[in-house]
Amino acid sequence: MLPFARVTIIGIGLIGSSIARATRVAMPTVRLTGYDADPEVRATADALHLFDDVADSGGAAVIDADLVILCVPVGAMGAAAADFAADLPADAVVSDVGSCKAEVVRALSEALPGVTIVPAHPVAGTERSGPEAGFATLFHKRWCILTPPEGTDPVAIERVAEFWRRLGADIETMAPEHHDRVLAITSHLPHLIAYTIVGTASDMEEVTRSEVIKYSAGGFRDFTRIAASDPTMWRDVFLTNREAVLEMLQRFSEDLSALQRAIRWGKGDELFDLFSKTRAIRRGIIEQGQDDPAPDFGRTHD
């Protein structure tokens, strides 16, 4: 049996449009409705036939939904939920895909008192955004982390888990605060480093813009991909997951200073030991089959 029959997606960007595409493939009889605050995005979603219906208000979009998934930037979750709260059916389950969870859980619980909320985070994405950037296989073999508040109906949790399993994801459940600390180091800090390194390189007088482009075939190129990620999304992530990111940044700065000292004093053994350890970590990730599959999964550009 299908976990949900009428699914509404609020926010039709990379993630919202990927969920719509993946649902079409995995659960073709599900009735899909979409809504986005931006009328141009709604028109594009219509033209791409991503949904059975593209509604022109949040309320109209949720009126007969049994699952509503918020796919808006984390700083907009509370307002987007408040927008449809009055029209939400009493038995609907609300979920989201936000990249940080504690603050989103708080904002959704405040906007939707008494509603069953099962927050989720598919740990899958690209640097692109908007409805044209999505693709149906984005969630294949990727983690989807559920962070339900204590006391959430276990049946609702299992239905949301099953929905994501059908989109190809593997499920993990954890507390929102734990999620935010883990993702601060594995996702948020790497983005901050990429934004910094690309910004620094382009600011340096002797490294002109054209040289940055010309010599970016190596490691730097990987950083430029990450640093091309959506500015609104990432501004919201850093402001929303502030404490965990600052904690990880402090730890990272200390480790960076230790490396700086090792280079200054010619401590080759220290450098070699660290680089050997990190090489083993990368090999472990590949052996577990968790290497980034996205390049094979529908990207049309790099």
Ligand X SMILES: NC(=O)c1ccc[n+]([C@@H]2O[C@H](COP(=O)([O-])OP(=O)(O)OC[C@H]3O[C@@H](n4cnc5c(N)ncnc54)[C@H](O)[C@@H]3O)[C@@H](O)[C@H]2O)c1
Among 11, 34, 75, 125, binds ligand PRE (CB under 6 A): 125
Residue 127 identity: E
Measured CA to CA in angstroms, residue 170 lies from 105, 121, 164 at distances of 21, 11, 8
Buried b (16+ CB within 10 A) or exposed e, 253-278: eeeeeeeeebeeeeeeeeeeeeeeee
Counting contacts by CB under 6 A, is residue 241 touching ligand X?
no
Cα gap 214→237, rounded to integer Å: 31
Counting contacts by CB under 6 A, is residue 130 touching ligand X?
yes
Q: Which stretch binds ligand PRE (CB under 6 A): 105-113, 117-125, 156-164, 199-207?
A: 117-125
Counting contacts by CB under 6 A, is residue 20 touching ligand X?
no
Q: What is the DSSP string of 63-117?
A: TT-SEEEE-S-GGGHHHHHHHHGGG--TT-EEEE--S--HHHHHHHHHHSTT-EE
CA 253 from centre of chain: 25
Counting contacts by CB under 6 A, is residue 241 touching ligand PRE?
no
Among 34, 98, 119, 168, binds ligand X (CB under 6 A): 98
Closest separation between CB of residue 242 and ligand X, Å?
A: 15
Pick between residue 5 and residue 37 the one whose CB is nearest to ligand X.
37
Counting contacts by CB under 6 A, is residue 194 touching ligand X?
no
User: What phi and psi values does residue 44 have, to the nearest 5 degrees?
Assistant: -65, -40
Among 36, 66, 96, 127, binds ligand PRE (CB under 6 A): 127
Cα gap 66→3, rounded to integer Å: 10
Counting contacts by CB under 6 A, is residue 187 touching ligand PRE?
yes
Counting contacts by CB under 6 A, is residue 123 touching ligand PRE?
yes
Q: What residues pair up with 32 in beta bridges, in sequence order? A: 7
Residue ranges binding ligand PRE (CB under 6 A):
99, 123-127, 187, 229, 294
Residue ranges binding ligand X (CB under 6 A):
10-16, 36-38, 41, 71-74, 76, 79-80, 97-99, 122, 125-126, 129-130, 230, 233, 237
